[in-house]
Amino acid sequence: MSLIALSAGFLPLLDSVLLVLAREKGFAAAEGLDLHLVKETSWANIRDRAALGHFDFAQMLAPMPIAATLGLNPLSVPMITPMMLGLGNNGVTVSAALWARLADAGAPATLAAGPVGAALKQVVASSEQKLRFGVVHQTSSHNYELRYWLMASGIVPERDIEIVVLPPPLLPEALGSGGIDGYCVGEPWNTVGVKNAGAHIATVKAAIWRSSPDKVIGMRAHWAEANSEIVAGLIRAVHHAAVWCGESTNHQEIAAIMAAPHYLGLPAEQILPALNGQLDIGGGVAASVPEHFVPYAGAANFPWTSHAAWFYSQMVRWGEVEHTADRARAAAMTFRPDVYRSALTPLGVPMPLADSKVEGLLAAPTEVPSTSGTLVIGPDGFFDGVQFDPDEVEAYIAAQRAA
């Protein structure tokens, strides 16, 4: 049987791992797919080449397909997200100098978002120069989470600090040279910052917004519709990769695969910590963060429309788009739980019956109604305890505007 060739773009980040494993461990081939992975140098290239159809699909920042659907980019074509590439995987890393000031202001080396944010507020207030933070893209979960964390800590991004955009592999170096004071990026670039630039991981995505997504599979809506069987095969292949990636006994092998020059091009020991959540957060402090990167458990691949709605609310918050009810609906519908469910139903995988959830409702792991078997998800939600109800987007936006 000849395989169907599929081309996909990715950036050198840990959460490209599910695509890599789908190829390297034969999960794609088992679905009749020959997966070609193309390492790209910028999210802009991923966006443009996916829009043009050079890539059938791509690893994307979760808000990217939403921005495309809303026509926020020049080459915009409607995109869909049929699957998430896991939960977590981000961190906020700061320079040794900034960490020393944070520690003086009472920041604990525990990654706790609240206390570290409170210390940062003090440091920002006493700084003569604006602190400068790097993110990888404006339309990224990193940018929105960093800003959420700052705002909830009493720091107004535009007024109190400066946010710049830099590609992930260049962030640790920029931190080391003093060009920036901190950054929010996906792994392994937090770990690399600690190892190579003497940096400290101040907090992580899992502490700012528990059980939240970072990267997704994005593809043109028309292509997905015309190739629904291929899309279903791809979802199954990545699902098997996600299950396999979630087994801790496979982590050593995964780190070795990802270390190859055509994937991350980094020593395996700098990749492993993010995989198993055993982080060196700097200054010899070890932290265990089991939720740091979740490839499969807790419906980690399920495209909740409420996640899309939250990203949309932040696009409005930061002035990237004007809110209308139609846009809110279009944004939420970019994530496609129906496509995900129909691909995996034949496998009998437990999947949520609901398409969306209120972020911050689950304080503990909770069993939820599922397509089959038992499904436990959560806890979820934001560190400041504010809930996000996807049915009340307008009120949420208004409350954030007033803050």
Choose among 2, 6, 14, 13: nearest CA to 275.
14
Structure tokens at 59: 């690893």
Residues 308-367 that bind other proteins (CB under 8 A): none
What's the rounded Cα separation, in Å, for the pair 325 and 298? 30
With binding defined as CB under 8 A, does residue 73 bind other proteins?
Answer: yes
With binding defined as CB under 8 A, does residue 7 bind other proteins?
Answer: no
Identity of the residue, 43 or 99, whose beta carbon is nearer to other proteins in the bound complex: 43
* Residue among 3, 52, 256, 403 that touches other proteins (CB under 8 A): 52
**DSSP assignment letter at 82:** E
> Which is it for strands 209-210 and 161-165: parallel, antiparallel or unpaired?
unpaired
Identity of the residue, 105 or 146, whose beta carbon is nearer to other proteins in the bound complex: 146
C-beta of 42: minimal distance to other proteins in Å? 4
Q: From residue 161, how far is each of 131, 205, 207 by CA, in Å? A: 5, 20, 21
Choose among 11, 19, 53: nearest CA to 222.
53
Kindly indicate which of the ranges 71-79, 284-292, 334-342, 378-386 contains the residues binding other proteins, using the contact rule CB under 8 A: 71-79
* Residue among 9, 169, 186, 273 that touches other proteins (CB under 8 A): 169
C-beta of 138: minimal distance to other proteins in Å? 6
Kindly indicate which of the ranges 41-49, 146-154, 209-217, 340-348 contains the residues binding other proteins, using the contact rule CB under 8 A: 41-49
Kindly indicate which of the ranges 135-143, 181-189, 279-287, 372-380 contains the residues binding other proteins, using the contact rule CB under 8 A: 135-143
Kindly indicate which of the ranges 82-90, 120-128, 130-138, 296-304 contains the residues binding other proteins, using the contact rule CB under 8 A: 130-138
Task: Considering only CA atoms, give the Rg of the chain.
Answer: 20
Structure tokens at 220: 């043109």
Q: Where are the alpha helices (DSSP H) in 153-197?
A: 157-160, 171-176, 189-197
Phi and psi for 83 in degrees, rounded to 5? -165, 145
Amino acid letter, 195: K
Identity of the residue, 178 or 290, whose beta carbon is nearer to other proteins in the bound complex: 178
C-beta of 73: minimal distance to other proteins in Å? 8
* Residue among 48, 280, 384, 392 that touches other proteins (CB under 8 A): 48
With binding defined as CB under 8 A, does residue 42 bind other proteins?
Answer: yes
C-beta of 44: minimal distance to other proteins in Å? 4
Task: Please work out the total of residues on this chain that contact other proteins, with binding judged by CB under 8 A.
Answer: 21
Report the residue count for the chain: 403
C-beta of 178: minimal distance to other proteins in Å? 13
Choose among 21, 86, 75: nearest CA to 50.
75
Q: Is the alpha carbon torsion for 374, 238, 142, 120 positive or negative?
A: positive
Applying CB under 8 A, the residues found at the interface with other proteins are 41-45, 48-49, 52, 54, 73-75, 136-138, 164-167, 169-170
